Structure 1
């Protein structure tokens, strides 16, 4: 059974809701109607470790924050939900403590985002150190986009992904094509592998899955993390796995129709082109995210009938 975003949800700050809250949260502090949708479907591995947020009115009337978080490891659900519930507030707090304009504005945005992500990882470490939650080999990705006016700030940690759907020729009603905003941050990327190896971590693939490079401890065949950046995963933090996001910026044009952010359970089986086609052909904005997730679930059954399906989570934001 999937989970749809509910309107006007304000998530609780209680410990139980932080760790076991619903996968999808929709928040609104604006008078404008909903401009997107979010949907999450639990995979066949057990507990849904994905979470997502669509927050309209974020930091101002025209502000929007969209994000997905993909937990992994025994307590990945705890990390995913904690980050979803607290990172938006941390980002606003760090932004409000900094000022600047002009040519240094992007630098200031980047510093704010990095400091907020660092603070979030430190809070998770406190949970690891002071509670029974062992987060040595549990963590979460984050793919996050903040929209203010026509400007996007994109922050990515791990292998979730954000794309835009753009009109290919600038004419309304014509074909919509994908434009990828993030890079999947996996150990196979040369720059990521280089950093990990300089820190004495190992990047290797198992014989039975030679196409998947993983991060291992220097002298132990564990834990085998399939991404190079994440919240949590403290066993690997001194060996090159970092919680510093890759940050980029995008100025929206009239050709940018919608934004899609999804966890790797979607991207493992659907191409960017397929996802854009599904969203652009949706009958309503409210059903777009659910349609993508349902198509991903069907693709898992078709392509990998003997494998356990991953959790699949999507957030769609319509820009026009």
Structure 2
């Protein structure tokens, strides 16, 4: 069973009733009240954190979404995904049930965003469910908002519990997109030269899986990567958008997560490091 040693952390989060979750209220405040200038670049990220009881078993839920083309999709997922997940779980907190609930909730969210009149916004989405009683983590994700499990029991390494669906990084996704008739290439910059990550056209998306993106409906898949892990007794779960992962190394994240004493301290150190190394090039959640 996972008890007080559990730390479920996103880089800025709202608190809830349990101790592990309440710590994260301070982590959210770090983003706005520290001496560093943490201005939001686009304001399209969304996140939420909640502790629920499913079939008598305490489960901590965390979600992070990185929006593009506006905040409509990410904001919708923040308000929708937990309730859809809980409805589908229907009182069963087994790993099989939570995996099925995640898949169903992602497909429902995708359809609902598509149904918003005139909306072509999209987002990545990562949903983590920590079953405290069983000591299990179930993670579902689309896109490049990644989740890593860090523990001294894992030889001091960070283990990814999500999948990276960036077209640049996935040969499997490139093959899938080509089979659907997508054209892969790089966007042309102001100098007339191609640059940046590989994208799929029409649409120009750099991730092959996501929620929404009605203008790229022929290519974007909302089918999430889903996996369940048995948790070590002492762990930190880091869930973050690409604004963090693109600016730091896994070695740096692991070292900070293992040394910091609280989730808010971990969040503060990771944010400061990322801004110091790369500046404010993207939203960071």
Taking structure 1 as the reference length, the TM-score comes to 0.72
Could you say if the C-alpha distance between residues 287 and 215 of structure 1 is closer, same or farther in structure 2, counting changes exceeding 3 Å? same
SS of residue in 2 equivalent to 1:163: strand
For residues 210 and 157 of structure 1, the distance between their equivalents in structure 2, rounded to whole angstroms, comes to 24
For residues 228 and 44 of structure 1, the distance between their equivalents in structure 2, rounded to whole angstroms, comes to 28
Counterpart residue number, 2:106:
117
For residues 41 and 247 of structure 2, the distance between their equivalents in structure 1, rounded to whole angstroms, comes to 19
For residues 233 and 184 of structure 1, the distance between their equivalents in structure 2, rounded to whole angstroms, comes to 18
- RMSD over aligned Cα, in angstroms? 2.7
Unaligned runs of 5+ in 2: 1-10
SS of residue in 1 equivalent to 2:165: coil
For residues 29 and 45 of structure 1, the distance between their equivalents in structure 2, rounded to whole angstroms, comes to 28
Counterpart residue number, 2:125:
142
For residues 140 and 276 of structure 2, the distance between their equivalents in structure 1, rounded to whole angstroms, comes to 29
Contact 2:165 2:208 in 1 (8 A): yes
Correspondent of 2:211 among 231, 254, 274 = 231
For residues 265 and 81 of structure 2, the distance between their equivalents in structure 1, rounded to whole angstroms, comes to 27
Could you say if the C-alpha distance between residues 300 and 153 of structure 1 is closer, same or farther in structure 2, counting changes exceeding 3 Å? same
Contact 1:24 1:51 in 2 (8 A): no
CA deviation after TM superposition for structure 1 residue 81, in Å: 1.4
CA deviation after TM superposition for structure 1 residue 295, in Å: 1.3
Counterpart residue number, 2:78:
84
Taking structure 2 as the reference length, the TM-score comes to 0.81
Could you say if the C-alpha distance between residues 139 and 156 of structure 1 is closer, same or farther in structure 2, counting changes exceeding 3 Å? same
2:151 matches 1:166: yes
Larger RCO (CA within 8 A; separation ≥ 6):
2
SS of residue in 2 equivalent to 1:228: coil
Contact 2:93 2:131 in 1 (8 A): no
Counterpart residue number, 1:152:
137
Count of residues in Structure 1 that have an aligned counterpart in Structure 2: 259
2:170 matches 1:186: no
